[in-house]
Amino acid sequence: MWDGRDQSSAHYRGHRPGGEWDEVVGVLVIVVIGAVAGVLAIGHLSAVIFDRAWPSYGLADVPRVLGGVMAQPGDPGRAWDPVNTGGRPPGPLAFWGTGLVVVVAGVGGWLMATRAPSP
């Protein structure tokens, strides 16, 4: 029986008003954290591969490193130079090449894990 209320309201859908924005903000936060972690991981991994040592810098220097990567994406490894006392990340081809290998390996692993086994 119809009670006069809009059946498509947030009350009937089980959502609270504004809940969609919470989801959007949550997704954006996850994307930003993933991008930050990805850039730092690629920098560290490429330094280990090409300089055989981990970069070394303080946690307080992370914003400076990230700002340097954004300011100079053509040579992101140089963003570590002002604060790093360990292994030096390589030039742009090796840096982004390491990133490409990490992404391809991650996507390949995900595809293999989610693919249904054939009988």
The mean per-residue pLDDT over the stretch 85-104 comes to: 96
- Give dist(CA 105, CA 79) in Å, integer: 25
User: What is the number of helices (H) and of strands (E) in the chain?
Assistant: 4, 0
Q: Structure pTM?
A: 0.75
- Give dist(CA 17, CA 29) in Å, integer: 20
- Band (4; pLDDT cuts 50, 70, 90): low
pLDDT at 20: 85
Helices 19-51 and 92-114, axial angle in degrees (round to 10):
120
HSE (CB half, 13 Å, CA atoms) of 116? 2
Rounded percentage of the chain residues whose pLDDT exceeds 70: 83
pLDDT at 21: 85
Sequence-separated (6 or more) residues with CB below 8 Å from residue 69: 39, 43, 76, 79
- Band (117; pLDDT cuts 50, 70, 90): confident
